Amino acid sequence: TKLESGTVTWESPSNIALVKYWGKKEHQIPANPSISFTLNNCKTTTTLTFSKKENTQHFSFEVFLDGEKKEEFKPKVETFFKRIESYLPFLTDYHFKIETSNTFPHSSGIASSASGMSALALCLMSVEKELSAIQDDSVESQKYFNQKASFLARLGSGSACRSIEGDLIVWGDSTTVEGSTDLFGVKYPYQVHDNFKDYQDTILLVDKGEKQVSSTVGHNLMHMHPYAENRFKQAHENLEKLKPILKSGDLDAFIAIIESEALTLHAMMMTSMPYFILMKPNTLKIINKIWRFRQDTGLHICFTLDAGANVHVLYPKKESKVILDFIKNELVAYCQNGQFICDQVGFGAKLL
């Protein structure tokens, strides 16, 4: 007997990559492994309400953001549903109302795709669980739930597969990390030094404008890219180099890899054909200020970037007092409307 209707709510965070995913094969298979910190405060809450309909082989759903119906989100969800239909055969049995809201300001230039797609994937997994005859809460079934949620989220937006759990997630086949796979994100399985617990990420909102180039287009430009092979090789090497660093807590070595990864990501954009630049003048001003401050104080502040102009300022919790003062006094001036978000490493999605 199939359920007539129901509702489920998940809250899922964003994440920030340390070794970047840029370039993919078919079916959202990454060209190289990546590793990310799961965030804590930047998240999407999604309520999925499902009600039985006649099975017409068509998807039926509506999408709301902050209570407002969003027709413009439908194509993305339609594409997502098509990609995951064979893994969730009940999709055509129900009408879905998808109600979503973000903790961060919308169109802030913060990608809501990771948190949004992972939240939706988790809601759909809860429906699958409710529909299954056997209710099983064993560790094994919990593991299956998270892995499949990550697998589905990947098909929505690649980096979304790293948002289900925390605090450090690896996605992509790597000989360096046992159990890693292209199909879903896995928890980093090795010991991590206390320096990286509660790591801080203050996100400086430099530019809230629509990106001129979507990450889909950017990934595809890696196909004909003259430096692609070397870049993919470098990502494998950087992940391998991070392993002893994460264990020993060597912050200087950590910073060197993380900043290099950020600039390499943007270097790939600048050297693709067509080429493009997502950084803004204030992005560079902030980077230079961070470098100067690090030199002057010896504190372990560094930056990373995702596919946009905003700067993620990363630093250990124990240095946060002085660094946060510096951010407020010196860096916030370069943010659009003085906007920034204080975040830190988090532990993954929650069922509400």
Q: Name the residues that contact ligand PMV, by CB under 6 A.
A: 17, 20-22, 34, 111, 113, 157-159, 215, 219, 265, 306-307
Distance of alpha carbon 296 from alpha carbon 314, whole angstroms: 17
Residue 147 φ/ψ, nearest 5 degrees: -65, -45
* Shortest CB 219 distance to ligand PMV, Å: 6
* Shortest CB 213 distance to ligand PMV, Å: 11
Query: At residue 316, what is the residue type?
Result: P
**Based on CB atoms, which residue is closest to ligand PMV, 8 or 114?**
114
Distance of alpha carbon 234 from alpha carbon 303, whole angstroms: 19
Which residue in this structure is represented by tokens 């965030």? Answer: 39
* Shortest CB 168 distance to ligand PMV, Å: 13
Contact of 166 with 198, CB cutoff 8 Å: no
**Based on CB atoms, which residue is closest to ligand PMV, 48 or 235?**
235
**Based on CB atoms, which residue is closest to ligand PMV, 45 or 113?**
113
* Shortest CB 91 distance to ligand PMV, Å: 22
Distance of alpha carbon 160 from alpha carbon 12, whole angstroms: 10
* Shortest CB 17 distance to ligand PMV, Å: 3
* CB crowding 19-58: b at 16 or more within 10 Å, else e: bbbbbbeeebebbbbbbbbbbbebbbbbbbbbeeeeeeee
**Based on CB atoms, which residue is closest to ligand PMV, 293 or 308?**
308
Report the residue count for the chain: 352
Residue from 316, 331, 311 nearest 109 by CA: 311
Residue from 285, 309, 310, 289 nearest 299 by CA: 289
Distance of alpha carbon 315 from alpha carbon 327, whole angstroms: 11
**Based on CB atoms, which residue is closest to ligand PMV, 98 or 262?**
262
Tokens coding 181: 């796979």
DSSP 8-state assignment for residue 93: G
**Based on CB atoms, which residue is closest to ligand PMV, 33 or 323?**
33
Measure CA 58 to chain center: 30
**Based on CB atoms, which residue is closest to ligand PMV, 127 or 153?**
153
Distance of alpha carbon 79 from alpha carbon 167, whole angstroms: 29
**Based on CB atoms, which residue is closest to ligand PMV, 16 or 88?**
16
Which residue in this structure is represented by tokens 């988790």? Answer: 122
Query: At residue 309, what is the residue type?
Result: A
* Shortest CB 20 distance to ligand PMV, Å: 4
* Shortest CB 305 distance to ligand PMV, Å: 8
* Shortest CB 113 distance to ligand PMV, Å: 5
**Based on CB atoms, which residue is closest to ligand PMV, 208 or 219?**
219
Distance of alpha carbon 304 from alpha carbon 257, whole angstroms: 10
* Shortest CB 156 distance to ligand PMV, Å: 9
